[in-house]
Amino acid sequence: MKKGLTKKAKKDLQEISKYDDLNIDLETTIDYQNFNKMYDEISKKKPSSNKKVKVLIIILFILIISFSILLFFYLKKWEILDVELLNYDKENQIITLKVKTSKDNNVFCALGKDSKNLKYTAVTNSFCTPRGNLDSTTIYFKKDGVIFKTYEISSLTLDASFVDKKIYLAPKDTYTLKTNLTYLGQMPNVRYEVVDENILDLNTDKLTSKKDGETKINLYIEDKLYSSMDVVVTSLIEKRPKKFNTKKSYLTCNRYTTEEAKILDDILSTKINNVGNTTRASVVEAARFLTLDFPYRIHYFFENGRVSGLGENYADGEGRYYHKGLYLSKDKFKDIKYVFAGPAIWGCGLTNYEDYGIYVYGKKMPNGLDCSGFVSWVLLNGGFDVGDRGAGDTYEDFQMTDLGNRQKVTKQLVESGQIKVGDLLNWWGHIAIIIGIDENNYYVAESLDTYGGVVVKTYKKTNLPKDWTYVMLMDDVYKQDGKITNMWY
């Protein structure tokens, strides 16, 4: 019996059941037709629970489709128009971006590497300024508490600059461009440009000097100019050789004009600053410049006295020159406080008061540097004002052997690797500085009368304990290495 029937319908159903015994086709009777009509009316009044569920599903589906269509058109109109760097805090490694959107609509943005612990800022006047660390590469956009859009930073340059702001090159010299480059995402497209190609040739990131002159190198990121570097090509210096040239000429008197002397001073200070002033590297660079880059040899001259007054006489610029720069022009005389037989610039005649070998008492000899005068000058120009010290052992005051950690040169010390470029070497009465170390040798810059002035000598590591008595390990003096290299090429 069908469910959901009224009492009257049930009674009528019982009445028509009598037709079963009469073998009459039930569907042709008026009673059966009336019953079905009544049942259909009841069914229309009472829909089934399944139909209710279907109706609800259809309504929900229509709502979802409608919401999706509205969201699609909203997102289509809401766009990220531009993302640029607003600030880069190098010290704390924090970046702040400036994000431009098509409109506000109560939207907030944040910068991070994932969606956790983000600090959101409101989009106001179609701009927002999210902040994050260098590992943050995704911008998140939130509306009504829900993240509805993300933007992955494909490539964004934070910093692009030349490591060196100015360089000097000798003729036919080479230089590999060095840049500071910090970015998010993929590495940007870097391009270099030589302003005057008559002076320099550029091959990828390698410069080759062609003739004397001044020009600039520009650094571009995606066609935007980020940095420029000044390049000066000058014949006042030589391309740094792999070995000290023992055959190069000695400096003559008044070889340079005042203007040329000033340029050479600037070359020296520029090279020192480029490796890091007041570091181990800056001291080594000063020694390398005077022995390798400078085109002339500096004479040896016995000191006529010291600025410190611990010598026989107070004297300045007579066998020693305790000032910044080179002693090449007479305008330097204004800084000379004490004289004994001078003043006289390097290469010019100065009365000698020693009687040894070619050095005749009372004879004028070309002014230059003695051993401690050379090392004192190197230390001062590298940024370390240690005073105009001597080269003796330990029984005299104010000696270079009092600097750093003085150690006996032994086979064990050599093999330990503790001896570095920039450390000082000593035997009684003589001082020198190491300017190069390779697998087998130490390269030592020193000035000695028997060597004819300032030179670079090669000492085998195995022979160092025989050739030198002490080494002054200078870590406590220099404290920082700077851009130190064991060799100059």
Separation CA 270–CA 164 (nearest Å): 9
Per-residue model confidence (pLDDT) at position 484: 98
As a whole number, mean pLDDT of residues 404-416 equals 97
SS (H, E, C) 142-211: EECCEEEEEEECCEEEEEEEECCCEEEECCCCEEECCEEEEEEECCCCEEEEECCCCCEEEECCEEEECC
Residue 1 has pLDDT above 50, yes or no: no
Backbone angles phi, psi at 295, to 5 degrees: -80, 0
DSSP H or E segment with residue 100: strand 94-101
pLDDT tens digits, one per residue of 290-306:
999 999 999 999 999 99
Q: Report how far residue 58's alpha carbon sits from residue 442's, in angstroms, rounded to the nearest whole number.
A: 89
- Please enumerate, as own/partner, the contacts of 354-360 that have beta carbons within 8 Å and a separation of 24 or more: 354/302, 356/302, 356/449, 357/449, 357/450, 359/302, 359/449
Place of tokens 């009504």: 144
Measured distance CA(278)–CA(198) in Å, rounded: 36
Q: Mean pLDDT, the chain, as a whole number?
A: 90
Fold topology of 158-235: Immunoglobulin-like (2.60.40)
Q: Kindly report the length of the chain.
A: 489
Q: What is the largest CA-CA distance in the chain?
A: 164
CATH for 280-478 (3.40.50.300, 3.40.50.970, 3.90.1720.10, 3.90.1150.10): 3.90.1720.10
Average pLDDT of the residues in 413-417: 97
Tell me, what's the pLDDT at 2? 45
35 pLDDT tier (thresholds 50, 70, 90): low
For residue 18, pLDDT over 60 is answered with no
Arithmetic mean of pLDDT, 138-157: 94
Q: Is 235 exposed, middle or buried (0-12, 13-18, 19+ CB in 10 A)?
A: exposed
Residue 151 CB: number of other CB atoms within 10 A? Answer: 15
In this structure, are residues 141 and 109 in contact, taking their beta carbons and an 8 Å threshold? Answer: yes
Round to whole Å and give the CA distance between 112 and 37.
Answer: 70
Q: Would you state the pLDDT for residue 58?
A: 76
Percent of the chain residues topping a pLDDT of 70: 86
N-to-C CA span, the chain: 107
Residue 401, Ramachandran bin (φ over 0: left; ψ between -120 and 50: alpha; else beta): alpha
Assess whether pLDDT exceeds 90 at residue 53: no
Q: Which of 18-32, 72-86, 283-297, 352-366 is least confident?
A: 18-32
Find, among 195, 190, 185, 178, the residue nearest to 223 by Cα.
190
